[in-house]
A and B are shown apart, each in its own frame.
Chain A
Amino acid sequence: MKRYISLLIALCITLCAAGCSRGGVTGNGENYTYNDYVSTMAANWNPHTYETTTDSYPADYLRMGLYSLVFNDEKHFVEGKEPFTSYKVIPEMAASEPIDVTVQIKAEHPEFGIPETAVSGYAYTIDLNPDARWEDGTPINADTYVYSMQRLLDPELLNYRASDYYAGNFSIAGAEAYASQGQTVTLTAEDVMETEGLFDAEEFVSAYGDSAAHINWFASFGEAYSDETHAWAAAENKVADSGMSVREMYDFFMSAAMERGENADTARERFSDEISVQWTYPDNIDYSTVGLYKSGEHQITLVLSKSLAGFGLLYNLTSNWIVNEELYERCLKKDGDAWFSSYNTSADTTLSYGPYKLVSFQKDKSMRFERNTEWYGYTDGKHSFVDPVSGEERPMYQTTAVNTQVVAEAATAKLMFLKGELMTYTLQADDFASYKNSEFAHATPGETVFFLILNGSMEAIQSREASGSFDASKLDLETMTLETFRRAVALTYDKELFASTISPARSGALGLIGSSYLYDPENQLRYRDTEAAKSVLCDFYSVDVSEYESLDEAVASITGYDPETARGFYGEAFDQAVAAGYITDKNGDGISDQTVTIEYCMSADNDFMTRTVDYLNEKMAQVTTGTPFENRIRFVKSAPYGTEWSNKIKAGLSDTVLGGWSGSVLDPFSLTDLYVNPSYQYDALWFDSDSVSLTLNVNVAHAGESEIMRDVTMSLHEWSDALNGEFVTVDNVAYNFGEGMADVATRLQVLAAIEGAVLRTFDYIPMLQDAAVTLLSKQAYYVVDEYNPVLGRGGIAYLCYNYNDTEWAEYVASVGGEIKY
């Protein structure tokens, strides 16, 4: 028996010794491995179907855009700029800059519908890089691009990413019609008329008279009319079947107009705007109607439905849509009537055309990238930079391999980093005291502003209050919809204090558009630094600029925290809420009988959520002391809703959350769409941007032409559309304030006006400006310490190493396996 036990012990020791040996270190002096970690591993990085940023992680290693951004230096020279302070756009998968062929294409291809007045910004030819290859050596040419776009937009495949190429500013002509063919959607009468070329409302009624009319009663009449009972009732703020045909609805609009004293033209206009029908996209659309086609073996022609030029165009072309034809076809599978693709879901189903290739992948565990020797960039002479310290020319992408593994817990990641097993570690709130002054700590400003979204959906709130479990004698939800109450909440919190308390890496936010956004990337000019943006903040926070020496001083004085004014608003809100019957004060003590309960919508219950809710409650208790809401406003945590949290907020089923948008840091103008487009709005259920008019005195002249100032009135939604390159017609004049169409000052004016209008809804209360502080391993260093808003610190392309893998292992061992930062 003793012999067996001895043998068993010996076996265990052998196994332990074998396991503890550093078999993983295979460095030969030339290996520079970037050991990265993620909390969730990508599962599907197919450019046509991926849905989350987690899934897009491998794209930086495996793909290249038609163009890419590099730091300016002596090799990539930019006039008047110090090296590494700006950027330069270089052709990547393209061979040269795009050539504007708008006039030619407009004449040759009327099917693409380029506006008659357009002379530029709609059509381009792009020469492709003839050296581009897949990792297996297969050449990439114009056919690859056309095939990939055809598959991306394929109406049968129903790809999630298809709308990226027609729903935003980068909109390929004919793409929507091709991708959506045969699908039935709800369209306004105006959109149908425009699409089908119908002349007016009468013609529309002739064509669609018997169809069911859909209407948002709330937005159009305030109340819903029943054709059966001929009675008005409370309406929901959503488009629904009216119960009437289009013809009946048209007659109803006309008679309603007479009752209102409106003329027939106004009634018809309202009808066109407010009535929707079920509309089916025409079938049998051929791909030849899509504005991306082959015009040479290594040349494609791109036709857009919205004008886009300059940096905006190039920036949109820094991402790519191409897939490997053979592999893509092999990965397609039909299950029932639905198509699925396993393309880019494993190492076997992935082919790279970027600097690295995927050599191994284990689901929910790890992925490893190694250099793609077929990548043109290692030999084309363009992918190098001049070292700002030594002055020597160095190749980009010194990293030879990238090991990425899932480390879900920050505590584990920290220990691994200190042990030299990870390249970076993002500081958590508890780490700041120890590492904030470390020379290895690098602050990275984020583009996102986190705002508190406040529920304003009275319908959803009343529905929740009507449920059996809701005790209306003790609780209230309706009061939070009052503007005075929301104004008070906005002034209750000191944003900087909030940030330093719950998330020290971040800072307080005052506006909706973050401090990182550049309106002029070339000169690195930030929107937040403009007079228009500063004035918006002063207006919103009621700061009298005349009391300060400068606008800057006035802005610097804003904290977002004004307890005295907030208390006044709480008093007003109390009076209004009692009058409206939302709350009661039965004993007349001037204190609400009910507690206004604001549910904080959690995706998951964690320390951050707890700290946030505790802080909100603590400061609320302080500010409401002595007001009718003393101890009568309470933030409570919701159940963990997981990924459903945003839908809960949008549906008014939960009341508040710190939410935000991460848009393109180089395009603050596109952010406006997020606040006025129901596709994105958190408050779409209770805020209709089409119904808010905004009049601005703006320069309506085309960019570069003499100034023509004019008062222009549009809805908030229309201003946003015009700002983002769409022609919006007002009083028979078409306006377009898109890039290259209007001067920058005008665009900034419009942007600031929209930001101000959205802030004044008090649906979004800015709280946090995102940022992160990351420790970088001593193994490597950034070429530039200063964070560049366009290129960050250059990413993997510019990462340089102090130690190769072997040297690093020796260094770690020499310090006892515990590195000090």
Chain B
Amino acid sequence: MIKYVIQRLFLMLLTLFIITGMCFVLVRMLPPAELPPGDIHTQVIEARREAQGYNKPYLVQFGIFLKNVLTKWDWGVSDKLYMGQEVSAIFASKLPATMIVNLYSILLSIPIGILLGIIAATNKNNFIDHTISTATMVCISVPSFVYAFLIQYFLSYKWGLLPFLVKSGTDYFSPEMFVSMLPVILSLSLGVIASFTRTTRAELTEVLTSDFMLLARTKGLTRTQATMRHGLKNCMVVVLPAIFGNFIGIMSGSFIIEKIFAVPGVGSLYINSINGRDYPMFIMLTVFYTAIGLAASIVVDISYGFVDPRIRIGSKK
């Protein structure tokens, strides 16, 4: 197991290096924003590109980038979106808001989603199941920004229960901030709840018809006891990786939802860095999200072994 993990970590670093190198070179190969002939800013812009080293060979630029990151943890300075500011500091300042709203959303979604899935599965094909399944389909099909506007209209405007926007400031764990995040959390959660409900229902429905469930009932367990102790545990082989996947996704913000509720998060950073040709920002985000994605795949793979003892990753037999 340890050897397997080490192998995967080594491969992860190699993959990260290759992806970073490719992205670095490809993005810098993009032609700079065209300027009309004679533009008065051309001179300054071209001189800045030269001074910033963008006219050096790509591999030399990549080498300088690696050297700065590895020796000084210097990811560069934003030269378009946040002129003159360290990209790592900008990202670090914006990440908490995204993580916290996503974390709240998942913490809310997991129990509700699994509970609804269990209720639907144990009431298969009756009115309750149909109601939950229909609601699930609606929640999955309707884009989250539709909920967002409905929540704003009813909860914030008509009933005045919640603020329209996330509160300013970095007091992320204050009660005021929590309440201001509720509309975001609700908007993000409906789709996730539906997703968990559907997965749990599908797996549990199958598990409940297994022979061992019959055995559990015959040895005297109630239906609830059998479902909770044996059925749910077995369906977790599928549900748990989905939970891990969602946890890992908390660091990537939702572009639309963050925009609607003015969450000062990272949701729009990536797309803005590409549109704005902010190379240092783009590369730092690329490295970060690639690393997270690769780490996630390892964690999910390893988690199978913990959830289901029959799965032994890296075992020779």
Contact = CB atoms under 8 A, between A and B. Distances in A.
Q: Do A and B bind each other?
A: yes
13 contacts: A18-B175, A19-B176, A160-B41, A180-B43, A338-B51, A338-B53, A363-B264, A405-B168, A642-B275, A647-B34, A679-B39, A817-B160, A818-B157
Interface string B158-200: 0011101100111000011111101000000000000000000
B26 interface: no
Most-contacted residue by chain B among A365, A407, A684 (CB, 10 A): A365
A262 interface: no
Given A336-B52, A416-B165, A647-B36, 8 more contacts: A158-B47, A343-B84, A405-B262, A412-B165, A419-B164, A421-B164, A679-B36, A681-B36
Nearest to A55: B83
Given A239-B37, A405-B165, A336 B53 contact: yes
Contact of B83 (A44, A238, A365, A421): A44
Interface in A765-798: none
Contacts of B43: 163, 180, 183, 185
A761 interface: no
Interface stretch (B113-121, B148-156, B295-303): B148-156
Contact of B47 (A16, A183, A331, A679): A183
A14 B275 CA distance: 44
A43 B273 CA distance: 14
Q: Which of A238, A409, A416: most chain B Cβ within 10 A?
A: A409
Interface of B: 33-41, 43-44, 47-48, 50-53, 64, 76-77, 79, 81-85, 90, 93-94, 149, 152-153, 156-157, 160-162, 164-165, 168-170, 175-180, 182, 259-260, 262, 264, 268, 275-276
Given A158-B44, A412-B260, A642-B275, A362 B160 contact: no
Given A643-B276, A679-B38, A49 B160 contact: no
Interface in A628-645: 642-644
Contacts of A342: 83-85
A163 B77 CA distance: 24
Contacts of B176: 18-19, 21, 23
A634 B307 CA distance: 59
Given A44-B82, A180-B43, A19 B178 contact: yes
Contacts of B175: 14-15, 18-19
Contacts of A352: none
Interface in A13-57: 14-16, 18-21, 23, 43-44, 46, 49, 51
Interface of A: 14-16, 18-21, 23, 43-44, 46, 49, 51, 158-160, 162-163, 167, 180, 183, 185, 238-239, 331, 333, 335-343, 345, 360, 362-366, 368, 405-409, 411-412, 415-416, 418-419, 421, 642-644, 647, 650-651, 677-681, 684-685, 817-818
A407 B165 contact: yes
A335 B83 contact: no
Contacts of A43: 81-83
Q: Which of B43, B84, B157, B165 has the most CB of A within 10 A?
A: B84
B34 A651 contact: yes
A419 to B, nearest CB: 6
Nearest to B268: A364
B44 A345 contact: no
B23 to A, nearest CB: 19
Contact of B36 (A158, A337, A678): A678
B83 A407 contact: no
Contact of A44 (B37, B50, B84, B164): B84
A341 B83 CA distance: 7
B157 A333 contact: no
Given A18-B175, A163-B40, A684-B36, A643 B275 contact: yes
Residue among B48, B168, B179 with most chain A CB within 10 A: B168
Contact of A340 (B35, B77, B93, B260): B77
B33 A416 contact: no
B76 A335 contact: yes
Given A335-B76, A415-B156, A650 B34 contact: yes
Contact of B33 (A23, A647, A684): A647
Contacts of B152: 411-412, 415
Nearest to B157: A415
A362 B177 CA distance: 15
B36 A650 contact: yes
A365 B264 contact: yes
Given A167-B40, A412-B260, A415-B157, A15 B179 contact: yes
A20 B175 CA distance: 9
A366 B168 contact: yes
B84 A331 contact: yes
A318 B259 CA distance: 35
A418 B160 CA distance: 12
Contacts of B264: 362-365
B38 A46 contact: no
B44 A162 contact: yes
Contacts of A818: 157
Contacts of B79: 338, 340
A649 to B, nearest CB: 10
Contact of B77 (A333, A407, A411, A678): A333
A506 B123 CA distance: 59
Contact of A418 (B40, B51, B157, B178): B157
Q: Identify the interface centre among B36, B38, B178: most chain A CB within 10 Å of its CB.
A: B36
A797 B268 CA distance: 35
Contacts of B268: 364
Contacts of B182: 19
B268 to A, nearest CB: 8
B178 to A, nearest CB: 6
Contacts of B165: 405, 407, 412, 416
Given A642-B275, A647-B33, A679-B36, A411 B149 contact: yes
A158 B39 CA distance: 15
Given A15-B175, A19-B178, A335-B52, A364 B84 contact: no
Nearest to B272: A642
A363 B84 contact: no
A331 B85 CA distance: 10
Nearest to A216: B37
A339 B176 CA distance: 41
Contact of A415 (B47, B153, B259, B262): B153
B218 to A, nearest CB: 28
A681 B51 CA distance: 28
A340 B262 contact: no
Contacts of A647: 33-36
Top 10 nearest A-B pairs (CB, nearest first) are A19-B179, A18-B175, A365-B264, A678-B38, A340-B84, A338-B51, A366-B168, A642-B275, A44-B83, A647-B34
B259 A408 contact: yes
B212 to A, nearest CB: 27
B169 A407 contact: no
B263 to A, nearest CB: 8
A107 to B, nearest CB: 32
A185 B37 CA distance: 12
| Most chain A Cβ neighbours within 10 Å, of B33, B81, B157 | B157
B228 to A, nearest CB: 14
B44 A163 contact: yes
A341 B79 CA distance: 10
A365 B38 contact: no
Nearest to A281: B43
Contacts of A679: 36, 38-40
A613 to B, nearest CB: 22
Contacts of A341: 83-84
Nearest to B80: A51
Given A238-B37, A678-B37, A345 B164 contact: no
B222 to A, nearest CB: 17
Contacts of A158: 44, 47-48, 51
A677 B38 CA distance: 8
A338 B170 CA distance: 32
Given A18-B176, A647-B34, A409 B160 contact: no
